[in-house]
Structures are given as C-alpha cells and as structure tokens.
C-alpha cells in the first residue's frame, strides 16, 4: 500500500488522509507517494469509452488505499464528476487543427481547471472530518482563480468554515463576483485594504500564530496539497485513451505557473501512460523556461502579464519533480531548497539536466505572442482561447516536428473569465456561460477590513461556527 514521504526526508511515512488534511509536511517539504502505482497496457485498454468518474476511481483508488472505503470513494467521485460539471464528458476534447486538440477544463462551476481537483478536495475533506469528528477553518489568500474554486468547493461542507482574503480592488470583476456572490453561512470573503502580498503575508502570520492556529483548527487548500495533484492525473488519462492510448503516444502542452498541472501529467506518465512530449508554456514570468535553458533555477521579480494565474516567482510543485529527478535524494533536495530560499538560486549538473530535458520541453510566450495566437486561432478556426490556454498552445506548436503525434493543449480557463484580454486580442467580448449569465446582477457578500492582523483574527473568531 502506498504511503507518503516528504521531499525533504523529514518525519515518518503518512497515510492518504493525514496528507490530505496536513497539506505541507512539517519539515517544509511536499508529500509524494513512496512509489508510483502502475496502469498496465491492459488497464489502459479497459478504460476506453469508460465514464470520467469511473476512470477517476481507477486512477485514484491506489493513492487513497484503505483510508476511504471503496463504496464511499466511488460515491464521492460520482457525486463530483457526474453532476458538478456542465459537460457530460467532464473534460471534453475539441479538435482545432489536424491532430491538434484542446482539452477543455473549464466546465466546472468557476470556469477554470482548478475546479477539477478542488471540487473533489472539498468532498474528501468533509468526509474525513466527519469521520474524525473534527471541524477546520480554511484560510486562504487569492489574487483570483483559486479563491473562487475553493469557495465553490467548500460552500456545502458541514465541517468547514472558509475565509478567503483578496486585495480590495485588485481582482477582476468576474473573479471578485465569483467569490462574493456565493451566499452560504460558512463562506466569508474578506476584502483587505492592501495588495496580494499583504493578503499572503496575513495568512502566513496567522499560520505562524500557534495559539490562533490551534484555536480555529486552521487549514489550507493551497496548490501543494497532494490530493489536488492526484485528481488532475485523471484527465490526462481520459484524453490519451480517447486518442488511442495505449497504442498511440500523445503529447501534452500545459500553461504552467506553480507546476501543479504539468506535474500531474508527469505523474500520469510515471504510472505508465505513454506520452511523447510534455511541454511547459510560461509567460514573461519564465523561471521554468530559463531553468530548462540554463540548468539554473533563479528567482526574479513577478511582473504582471495577460495570463495572471501564471504570474509567479517560484513554482512550488517543481520540488516534487526534482525529488524524482535526483533519485529521491531527499537530503540534496533540502539543500537545494535552502539555497533557493537564501540565495534565490540553485544549479544542476549537465547529466541531470539532460534527463530533465528528455522529460520536458519549455517555451516562453510574450503578451504580444499570446494575443497574436488568440487572434490567429480565432480567425482560422473560430475557437476562442483564453490567454493562459494560448501560452500553452503556443509552446505545444513548437514541438510539432512529427505531425502524426496527437497534440493535446490544455484549455485551462473559459475565455469569459478574462474578457478584457480576449476582447483586446480578437475584438469580441466573450459571454459568460448560462449558469453564470446573471453574475453581474447577483448580490455580493464581503467584509472590508484593514491590513491589521488582530482585526482580521477577531473577525475570523467571531464568525466561525
């Protein structure tokens, strides 16, 4: 049975539910499975034509082990994936050119791929908390997409209170309204007078305040939670199988920020899914592309781009891949991460980099190129790309030396989430899908608070159940 170890080697092996609730390992490392469960050629053949929820069970069950009983896990997966998504295929493929497909991951409640994992995470949390007779308070900071996906995931959960801080006046109107128009007694939006860094620092300070953290049983659903990665492996399998796997190899192109989504693709490959190329797209915040070019991971400053959900300085989940790349030498990982934190950089040797370049390709895309591709794609095919999706597709198109290999580009957000960028590129303002058509008329629920730790803590204490 699989257990989970920290990328930095600390602590003892943990079970799935412990890792689910803890998120980060106590030594600051990320949890990874101690081995990769395998999908055999026969297994993959058997998944052809199988509904998404059933593929999800096949992929996820070995990671969960005996922590959740089979009928319960099956019920949760079917509740999440046979009702919570607006397309019957859940993650449908749409062909836009010969052997080029978009995998649309925006059919969840908040129109970005984060729903595919967070919808499941909310249910898993609620189930495990119920069993343990516990209650948690989730506190998170968001600059946009993650906050609304987390709120949607937790709004119906009995054992969770959720507080999401966003910088007042700094998110797009669609993004703010997706968070603030949820009317549920356990959901609290805090508009903080400050910027995104202030919000993040506020959450960190609260985690650092042990008394407060224990008082409210504080937790997080951030992008380093293993269960999010696990849930994202599923759609790589459904896409590959639909396009002929295991008889045919497929390439994937993934717009990348925190390295969560593309790491899930890597995990699928480790589990036995045949893959040709795995392509990373970065915007001008190109720490990953520079790493693959130079062999050095070197942080810079975050610059705003047309694809804001990828405006990051450090790709947290990269540590998980690094651990495999270095043969699970956890002592070495701890040293490299220390170097990244203290000196802002680490460098790998040429042998290691050769292996890394065999496994991934990476390309950057400027805002001009992003707009150019959105425009050309719309003109040639009528298909509207959101700016993040365009960054990934742009990267994928650069490795098309063999056009017989199907390319799947991940459609990470619905274009109506970024109407200004889309309108600037193609001259058409994309409309919100039917379930959100009245978003601009809905009542907002939010509390504006000063950038003051004590005041925010008091607000949280007064509002938890």
Name the catalytic one among 74, 114, 204, 276. 114
Can you spell out the DSSP letters for 380-434? HH-PPPPHHHHHHHHHHHTTTT-TTS-EEEEE-B-GGGSHHHHHHHHS-PPPPPG
Closer to ligand PLP by Cβ: residue 151 or 216: 151
Beta carbons within 8 Å of 65's beta carbon, 6+ residues apart: 1, 2, 15, 16
User: Tokens at residue 123, please?
Assistant: 């249910």
Q: CB of 155 within 8 A of CB of 178?
A: no
Q: How far apart are CA 397 and CA 382, in angstroms?
A: 18
Is 371 annotated as catalytic?
no
User: Tokens at residue 187, please?
Assistant: 């959901």
Residue 11 pairs in a beta bridge with none
CB of 258 to ligand PLP, least distance (A): 3
CB of 200 to ligand PLP, least distance (A): 15
Closer to ligand PLP by Cβ: residue 129 or 239: 239
Which residue do the tokens 């050119």 mark? 97
CB of 336 to ligand PLP, least distance (A): 20
CB of 367 to ligand PLP, least distance (A): 15
Q: How far apart are CA 319 and CA 317, in angstroms?
A: 5
CB of 389 to ligand PLP, least distance (A): 7
Closer to ligand PLP by Cβ: residue 126 or 386: 386
Q: How far apart are CA 33 and CA 196, in angstroms?
A: 32
**Binding interface with ligand PLP (CB under 6 A):** 112, 114, 145, 223, 255-261, 309-310, 388, 412-413
Quick one: DSSP state of residue 247? Answer: T
- Bridge-based pairing of strands 407-411 and 296-298 is unpaired
Closer to ligand PLP by Cβ: residue 246 or 281: 281
Q: Residues with catalytic annotation?
A: 114
């Amino acid at each position: 049975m699989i257990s989970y170890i920290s990328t930095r080697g600390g602590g003892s092996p943990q079970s799935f539910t412990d890792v689910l609730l803890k998120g980060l390992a106590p030594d600051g490392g990320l949890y990874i499975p101690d081995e990769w469960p395998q999908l055999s050629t026969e297994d993959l053949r058997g998944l052809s034509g199988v509904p998404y929820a059933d593929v999800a069970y096949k992929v996820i069950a070995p990671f969960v082990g005996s922590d959740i009983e089979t009928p319960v896990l099956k019920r949760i997966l079917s509740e999440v994936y046979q009702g919570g998504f607006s397309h019957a295929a859940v993650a449908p493929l749409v062909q836009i050119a010969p052997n080029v497909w978009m995998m649309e991951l925006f059919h969840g409640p908040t129109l970005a791929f984060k729903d595919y994992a967070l919808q499941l995470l909310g249910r898993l949390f609620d189930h495990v908390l119920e069993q343990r007779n516990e209650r948690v308070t989730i506190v998170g900071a968001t600059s946009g997409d993650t906050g609304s996906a987390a709120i949607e995931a937790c709004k119906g959960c009995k054992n969770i209170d959720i507080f999401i801080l966003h910088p007042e006046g700094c998110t797009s109107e669609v993004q703010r309204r997706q968070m603030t128009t949820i009317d549920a007694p356990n959901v609290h939006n805090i508009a903080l007078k400050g910027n995104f860094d202030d919000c993040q620092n506020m959450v960190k300070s609260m985690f650092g305040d042990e008394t407060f953290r224990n008082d409210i049983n504080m937790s997080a659903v951030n992008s380093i939670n293993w269960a999010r990665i696990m849930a994202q492996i599923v759609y790589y399998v459904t896409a590959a199988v639909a396009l002929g796997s295991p008889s045919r190899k497929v390439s994937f192109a993934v717009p990348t920020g925190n390295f969560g989504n593309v790491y899930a693709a890597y995990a699928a490959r480790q589990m036995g899914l045949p893959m040709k190329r795995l392509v990373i797209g970065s915007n001008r915040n190109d720490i990953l592309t520079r790493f693959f070019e130079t062999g050095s991971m070197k942080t810079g400053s975050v610059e705003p781009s047309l694809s804001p959900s990828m405006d990051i300085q450090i790709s947290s989940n990269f540590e998980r891949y690094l651990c495999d790349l270095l043969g699970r030498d956890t002592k070495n990982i701890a040293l490299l991460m220390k170097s990244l934190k203290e000196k802002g950089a680490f460098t790998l040797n040429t042998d290691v980099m050769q292996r890394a370049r065999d496994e991934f390709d990476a390309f950057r895309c400027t805002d001009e190129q992003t707009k150019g591709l959105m425009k050309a794609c719309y003109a040639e095919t009528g298909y509207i790309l959101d700016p993040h999706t365009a960054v990934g597709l742009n990267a994928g198109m650069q490795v098309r030396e063999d056009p017989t290999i199907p390319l799947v580009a991940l459609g990470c957000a619905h274009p109506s989430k970024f109407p200004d960028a889309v309108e600037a590129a193609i001259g058409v303002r994309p409309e919100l899908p039917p379930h959100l058509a009245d978003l601009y008329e809905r009542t907002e629920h939010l509390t504006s608070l000063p950038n003051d730790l004590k005041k925010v803590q008091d607000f949280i204490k007064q509002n938890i159940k």
